[in-house]
Amino acid sequence: EAPAAAPAACPAAPTVAACAASGLTEFVGVCEFGNTQGLVIANLDQAIHEIMGFDKKYRSLGIIGARTGAGPQIMAADEAIKATNTEILKVELPRDTQGGAGHGSLIVFGAEDVSDARRAVEVTLDNLPKFFGDVYANDMGHLELQYTARASKCLTTVFGAPEGKAFGLILGAPAVIGMLMIDAAVKSADVDVLDYGSPAHGTSFSNEVFITVSGDSGAVRQAIIAGREVGKPLLAAWGQDCPSAHIPYI
């Protein structure tokens, strides 16, 4: 969740090596945002179904994984759930050392048909750059803001977001910054706080504090913007600006 530099659009023009990987029928693509990769498995082996506890009706998997970033990938996967006939089977948040103060991610879609699984991975990769737009990072940490007017099943699974309602994420790292951001956010607008994360609660020990909020679309946006406004000067307080990783969308 902390890319310091804004990479090129995603999916990137494939390198020679990426072309080699695409010789594997399971390879869907890579994205420089968060060093994300997407794969598909047409017919998962029964032994893997069993140890991982996946319902066997989902014989095809779509898989998204990243070194850096969980929020953007989860948001993009939520768009994919809306657009395809798939379900979320697993969302896990590694504490990856490439991710600065935040998480990496592993997201598994289940589908009865491999074309659905592949489509879910493609939609996720296509939407990923957008959701790095309100990630602001420097060497000291990062802010992450996310917004959707209509949450779907990925956000329900991960954050308990009410389906179909506006949803927002307000996050600061290091954690001290997040504490002020979440207070400013809830003071600014009438939103429902769904849950919070901190180093020892709802994270994999990442150095982040965040809340997830739901409610009226305008209120959710207002809370997010209020959090962002106090977070920026705090993250810059050690002396570095904190630019957007891509193009702000909120």
Q: Which of residues 139-198 bind its own copies (CB under 8 A)?
A: 140-141, 174-177, 179-180, 182-183, 186-187, 193, 195-196, 198
* b/e code 64-76 from CB counts within 10 Å (16+ = b): bbbbbbbbbbbbb
* DSSP 8-state symbol, 240: -
Regarding 208 and contact with its own copies (CB under 8 A), the answer is: yes
Q: Does 39 bind its own copies (CB under 8 A)?
A: yes
Interface pick for its own copies out of 4, 6, 26, 249 (rule CB under 8 A): 26
* 225 contributes a contact to its own copies by CB under 8 A: no
Strands (E), the chain: 27-31, 36-41, 60-66, 87-92, 105-111, 135-138, 141-148, 166-173, 192-197, 209-215
The Cα-based distances of 72 to 21, 46, 65, 66, 92 in angstroms read: 24, 31, 12, 10, 14
- Is residue 100 a contact residue for its own copies (CB under 8 A)? yes
Q: Which member of 74, 114, 128, 209 binds its own copies (CB under 8 A)?
A: 209
Complex with its own copies: residue 156 or 204, whichever CB lies closer: 204
Shortest approach of its own copies to residue 229 CB, angstroms? 10
Which of 10, 66, 154, 219 touches its own copies by CB under 8 A? 66
